[in-house]
Amino acid sequence: MGFVFIKYIYPSMVFMNKVLIALFFCCIFQVGGIFAQTNYSIRCSFDKKVLLKHLQSLSSDAFEGRRTGTKGATKARKYIINQFHNLKVEPLGKSFEQPFSFIKKKKVFDAVNVLGLIEGSVFPEKYIVISAHYDHEGVKYSKVYNGADDNASGVGALFAFAEYFKNNPPKHSVILAAFDAEELGLQGSKYYVNHSIISSQDIIVNINMDMISRSNKKELYVVGTSENKKLKSLFTNSKYSSDIELIRGHDGYDGLDDWTYTSDHASFHKKGIPFLYFGVEDHKDYHEPTDDYENIHPLFYVEAVKTIISVFEKMDCSVGFKNRP
Ligand SMILES: [Zn+2]
Query: What are the pLDDT digits (tens) for 258-309?
Result: 999 999 999 999 999 999 999 999 999 999 999 999 999 999 999 999 999 9
Q: Which of 140, 145, 147, 276 is nearest to 203 (CA)?
A: 276
Give the Å distance between the CA of 97 and the centre of ligand 1: 20
Give me the pLDDT at residue 6, please: 34
Give the Å distance between the CA of 253 and the centre of ligand 1: 22
Confidence of residue 8 (pLDDT cuts 50, 70, 90): very low
Asked whether 311 and 41 are in contact (CB, 8 A), the reply is no
Give me the pLDDT at residue 11, please: 44
d(CA 170, CA 303): 21
Confidence of residue 322 (pLDDT cuts 50, 70, 90): low
Give the Å distance between the CA of 232 and the centre of ligand 1: 24
Asked whether 207 and 128 are in contact (CB, 8 A), the reply is yes
pTM: 0.90
d(CA 280, CA 216): 10
Name the amino acid, one letter, at 277: Y
Helix residue spans in the chain (DSSP H) = 2-26, 48-58, 71-86, 153-167, 187-194, 229-233, 265-270, 298-317
Please provide the average confidence, as pLDDT, over all residues in the chain. Answer: 89
* Residues 152, 297, 61, 183, CA torsion sign: positive
Give me the pLDDT at residue 28, please: 44
Coil/strand/helix, residue 134: coil
Give the Å distance between the CA of 139 and the centre of ligand 1: 16
Coil/strand/helix, residue 317: helix
Give the Å distance between the CA of 132 and the centre of ligand 1: 8
Give the Å distance between the CA of 76 and the centre of ligand 1: 15
Let me know if 219 is exposed, middle or buried by CB neighbors in 10 A (0-12, 13-18, 19+).
middle
User: Which pairing describes strands 90-91 and 245-248: parallel, antiparallel, or unpaired?
Assistant: unpaired
Q: Where are the domains of the chain?
A: 2-322
Give the Å distance between the CA of 149 and the centre of ligand 1: 8
Assess if CATH 1.10.340.30 describes domain 2-322.
Answer: no
